[in-house]
């Protein structure tokens, strides 16, 4: 919700996030919340989730959000 408010109120074109704590299966939360942005997400949780027993806190993950109006000027 915080990121949604900041993006809406400040005419933000690019957002860089770290420590998202999202897996590949849950990263859609970002794109569902911010439909005006194209989202590229990398999870650091996948290895932890596939290794079996989960211990400790979630960690890692980065995301790059680019507003759709600026996406034509960007490449991955």
* pLDDT of res. 65: 92
pLDDT in tens, 66-75: 999 888 887 7
CA nearest 40: which of 73, 16, 12, 6? 16
| Tens digit of each residue's pLDDT (9 = 90 or more) over 6-50 | 877 778 899 999 988 888 888 889 889 899 999 999 887 766 666
Q: CA quadruple 4, 9, 12, 15: dihedral positive or negative?
A: negative
Grade residue 58 by pLDDT with cuts at 50, 70 and 90: low
Higher pLDDT, 46 or 63: 63
Q: How many domains does the chain have?
A: 1
- Residue for token digits 């490449």? 75
pTM for the whole thing? 0.74
**Residue 15 belongs to what domain range?**
2-73
């Amino acid at each position: 919700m915080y990121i949604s408010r900041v993006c809406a109120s400040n005419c933000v074109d690019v957002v860089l996030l770290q420590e998202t704590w999202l897996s590949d299966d849950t990263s859609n939360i970002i794109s569902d919340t911010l439909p005006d942005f194209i989202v590229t997400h990398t999870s650091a949780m996948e290895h932890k989730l596939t290794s079996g027993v989960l211990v400790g806190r979630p960690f890692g993950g980065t995301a790059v959000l680019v507003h759709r109006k600026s996406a034509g000027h960007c490449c991955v």
